């Protein structure tokens, strides 16, 4: 209950903050909708129709009441329900998110454990250098490099289309490389920390084989790795604005960028609520999963 209350107040504070900042930011959505040739009277009439002429507290209270009822408002530009827009743009984002995080979760921890077992050897050095190099490339520079290689030079995959399996490869690869590198480094560091714990020395003293010890240490590292996976999944499924924009994917990130550029208050606020809910749900799930795998975590939280 304490966690649920904290989540509720976090979402409430985020909503109030975003609601305030959107209205304090420069630019008027009505002027963007009507264009530069609109008269002051036309602008005023349209503002009244949209309810933007009311005082800030009134607008905020009306919006919060609507959110409680499940109404996130109507897009100022698209003239469609924000809930409908979120449902429409959720599928491409979910596909990219789950595939990229799933592949990262398969590749990253495996290479991280392998690197830890080969500590200070050539294999370890090569893996660490490559992972550091991938982390050093921001997505907005990594994506064009992949496009240059796989699309322009080799002509294997399309750049800015959506619909088939070949359209998924480059966006997923753009996310898998940095996400997998993070999981690799987290897994490696956590394994090396855990393998020096006293309980591992006890297993050595009892004569347990190295393979059995490594499996137990890997299990002890699993809650930390799951936490990182949960964070990555919540971030990616909330909308990868850069990746979706570069590859022209009609996902949540693209919808958010359009909303920000057009000062579409309901869309931006709706996406913030969606992102917070996604993060909270995934956080609770992986938190619960981590406690089931390692009951010591629950004891630590309770203490």
What pLDDT, in 10s, does the model give residues 84-124? 999 999 988 889 989 999 999 999 999 999 999 998 899 99
Confidence class of residue 299 from pLDDT cuts 50, 70 and 90?
A: very low
**Residue-level pLDDT at 296:** 60
What three-state secondary structure class fits 74?
strand
**Residue-level pLDDT at 298:** 56
Chain mean position to CA 253:
10
Average pLDDT, the chain: 84
CA–CA separation, 122 vs 126, rounded Å? 6
* Vertex 235 angle, CA 231 and 237, to 5°: 115
Domain regions of the chain by residue span: 2-68, 85-263+278-302
What pLDDT, in 10s, does the model give residues 47-86? 888 787 888 888 888 888 888 888 888 888 888 899 999 9
- Asked if pLDDT for residue 154 goes beyond 80, the answer is yes
pTM: 0.81
- The DSSP element (H or E) to which 62 belongs, if any, is helix 56-68
CA–CA separation, 131 vs 104, rounded Å? 12
Confidence class of residue 303 from pLDDT cuts 50, 70 and 90?
A: very low
**42-46, 110-114, 122-126, 295-299: which has the minimum mean pLDDT?**
295-299
As its CATH architecture, domain 85-263+278-302 has Orthogonal Bundle (1.10)
Confidence class of residue 195 from pLDDT cuts 50, 70 and 90?
A: confident
């Amino acid at each position: 209950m304490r966690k649920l209350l904290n989540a509720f107040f976090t979402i409430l504070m985020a909503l109030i903050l975003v609601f305030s900042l959107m209205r304090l930011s420069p630019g008027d959505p009505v002027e963007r909708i009507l264009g530069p040739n609109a008269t002051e009277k036309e602008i005023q009439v349209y503002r009244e129709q949209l309810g933007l002429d009311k005082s800030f507290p009134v607008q905020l209270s009306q919006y919060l009441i609507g959110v409680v009822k499940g109404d996130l408002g109507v897009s100022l530009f698209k003239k469609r329900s924000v809930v409908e827009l979120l449902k429409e743009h959720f599928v491409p984002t979910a596909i990219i998110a789950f595939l990229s995080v799933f592949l990262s979760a398969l590749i990253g921890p495996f290479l991280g454990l392998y690197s830890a077992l080969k500590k200070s050897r050539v294999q370890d050095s090569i893996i660490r250098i490559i992972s550091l190099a991938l982390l050093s490339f921001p997505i907005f520079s990594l994506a064009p490099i992949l496009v240059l290689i796989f699309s322009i030079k080799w002509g294997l995959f399309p750049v800015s289309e959506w619909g088939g399996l070949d359209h998924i490869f480059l966006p997923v690869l753009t996310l898998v490389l940095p996400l997998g590198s993070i999981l690799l480094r987290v897994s490696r560091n956590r394994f090396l920390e855990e393998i020096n714990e006293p309980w591992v020395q006890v297993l050595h003293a009892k004569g347990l084989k190295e393979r059995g010890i490594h499996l137990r240490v890997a299990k002890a590292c699993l809650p930390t790795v799951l936490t990182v996976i949960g964070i990555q999944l919540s971030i990616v499924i909330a909308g990868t604005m850069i990746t979706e924009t570069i590859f022209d994917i009609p996902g949540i990130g693209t919808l958010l960028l359009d909303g920000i550029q057009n000062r579409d208050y309901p869309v931006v606020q709706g996406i913030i609520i969606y992102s917070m809910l996604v993060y909270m749900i995934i956080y609770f799930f992986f938190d619960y999963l981590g406690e089931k795998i390692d009951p010591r975590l629950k004891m630590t939280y309770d203490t």
